[in-house]
């Protein structure tokens, strides 16, 4: 029988369990390296996040099924350590340094200003998916404090407004590209 997209019962049709399928090859490689290692949970999570940029629900379900870690334990670890992300990152990673040298040079003001201008808090991504705002402990450029890191590029001796203008310029570059 041909499927009818307007059928009101359509949403109740069982479409199978995606986890009944084998994991995608990139996950399978990670799992194969840690099978039988009871202490490999954090390492496996780091490797999955390195590959995808975050830890998706299905990634964690596959991890649980394939390596035998209970899902509750996995989520316990993921939510305890703030290095793990459960949401896809934005297109650009904006990091405000909170190391000592940057802190004494008012990096907290830069962070507060960017939070206000972007409308997100640390760790969050703007609704359009353009930017994820983060902090970093120290990027080794203390003589340039306070420091802002945009993706892989470091900007030193920033004021709050200069930090914001750096992001504005980045957005303008993309529009004109
Ligand atoms: S404290 Fe910010 S770069 Fe070192």
The answer to whether 124 touches 116, Cβ cutoff 8 Å, is no
The domain in which residue 111 lies consists of: 92-176
Ligand 1 midpoint to CA 82 (Å): 19
Which domain CATH number covers 104? 3.40.30.10
Question: Tens digit of pLDDT for each residue in 110-134?
Answer: 999 999 999 999 989 999 999 999 9
Ligand 1 midpoint to CA 60 (Å): 34
Residue at a domain's end among 43, 58, 80: 80
105 and 75 share a domain? no
Q: Which two tokens mark 116?
A: 């206000």
Cis check: omega of the bond before 14, within 30 degrees of 0: no
| Within a domain: 85 | no
Count of domains for the chain: 2
Residue at a domain's end among 51, 80, 109: 80
22 and 74 share a domain? yes
- Ligand 1 atom with least separation from CA of 99: 1
96 and 170 share a domain? yes
| Within a domain: 87 | no
170 and 96 share a domain? yes
| Within a domain: 5 | no
Is pLDDT larger for residue 40 or for residue 18? 40
Between CA 79 and CA 116 the distance in angstroms is 25
Question: Tens digit of pLDDT for each residue in 2-38?
Answer: 445 566 666 556 555 667 788 999 999 999 999 999 9
């Amino acid at each position: 029988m041909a499927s009818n997209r307007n059928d009101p019962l359509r949403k109740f049709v069982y479409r199978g369990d995606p986890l009944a399928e084998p994991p995608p090859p990139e996950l399978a490689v990670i799992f194969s390296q840690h099978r039988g290692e009871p202490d490999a949970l954090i390492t496996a999570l780091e490797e999955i996040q390195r590959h995808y940029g975050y830890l998706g629900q299905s990634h964690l379900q596959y991890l649980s099924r394939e390596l035998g870690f209970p899902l509750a334990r996995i989520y316990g670890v993921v939510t305890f350590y703030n290095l793990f992300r459960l949401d896809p990152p934005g297109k650009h990673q904006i990091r405000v340094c909170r190391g000592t040298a940057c802190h004494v040079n008012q990096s907290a003001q830069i962070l507060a200003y960017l939070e206000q201008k972007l409308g997100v808090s640390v760790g969050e991504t703007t609704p359009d998916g353009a930017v994820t705002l983060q902090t970093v402990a120290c990027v080794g450029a203390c003589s340039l404090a306070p420091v802002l890191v945009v993706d892989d590029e470091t900007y030193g001796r920033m004021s709050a407004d200069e930090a914001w203008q750096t992001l504005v310029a980045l957005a303008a570059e993309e529009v004109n590209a």
